[in-house]
Amino acid sequence: MEKVTLHDKTFRLFIPNAEIEKAIDAVAERLNKDYADCTDQDPAILLCTLNGAVIFAAELLKRVTFPLVLKACKLSSYEGTSSTGVVKTEVPLPSRLEGKRVIIVEDIVDTGNTIVAMTRKLRELKVRDARVCTLLVKREVYDKDVELDYVAMEVPNRFIVGFGLDYDELGRNIKDIYVLDD
């Protein structure tokens, strides 16, 4: 489809699924190299940020080969098409992460407020290592000090939907990524 309408807005095709899949393959390859030393006794923790990163996390799970445990949390700062600037915890970080290697899986990083809040909480939980793995990043607006260790794709500062990203909860199930059609 060249265009989709969600609620009151129309979006046009921006990134076809084949490009997304290729980018995920590259990220998974890097993760497999970096976490090859994980064992069943010391697995990595794949921390999926709900709801947007579910599809990206599922695709990573198909591709990674090292021992891991899947956990989830939900921190949010978006309402409609813009960030509120306030990070709300809807599903808290899992307990018992002390000494663990955590890979935060995000759908998109733009302002970085959620990533900063999450990494701060992980430090408080005394994780051994926390790395950020994101499907998308808006580099022109991301200005935080938290390093983004694994980035599948960079996108401009535009509102996008699909492949887990939503507009007021619709559009997550679209396999391609669409941009707001001005």
Domain boundaries along the sequence of the chain: 18-154
Count CB atoms within 10 A of the CB of residue 109. 23
CB 103 within 8 A of CB 47: yes
Q: What is the per-residue pLDDT for 105?
A: 98
The 10s digit of each residue's pLDDT in 135-162 is 999 999 999 999 999 999 999 999 999 9
The 10s digit of each residue's pLDDT in 11-24 is 999 999 999 999 99
Q: At what angle do helices 17-34 and 54-63 cross, to 10 degrees?
A: 60
Q: What is the per-residue pLDDT for 47?
A: 96
* Fold of the domain spanning 18-154: Rossmann fold (3.40.50)
Which residues are known catalytic residues? 110
The pTM of this model reads 0.93
Q: What is the per-residue pLDDT for 77?
A: 66
Return the DSSP state at 17. H
- Strands of the sheet with 68-79, listed across from one edge: 82-91, 68-79, 44-49, 101-109, 129-137, 150-154
**H or E element: which one contains 156?**
none
Q: What is the per-residue pLDDT for 74?
A: 86
Q: What is the per-residue pLDDT for 83?
A: 60
The 10s digit of each residue's pLDDT in 164-175 is 999 999 999 999
Question: ∠ at Cα 150 (147, 153), nearest 5°?
Answer: 110
The 10s digit of each residue's pLDDT in 76-129 is 765 555 566 677 777 777 888 999 999 999 999 998 998 999 999 999 999 999
Question: ∠ at Cα 11 (3, 156), nearest 5°?
Answer: 125
Please, what is the average pLDDT of the chain?
A: 93
CB 125 within 8 A of CB 96: no
Task: Tell me whether the omega of the peptide bond preceding residue 32 falls within 30 degrees of 0, making it cis.
Answer: no
Residue 94 burial class via C-beta count within 10 angstroms: exposed 0-12, middle 13-18, buried 19 and up? middle
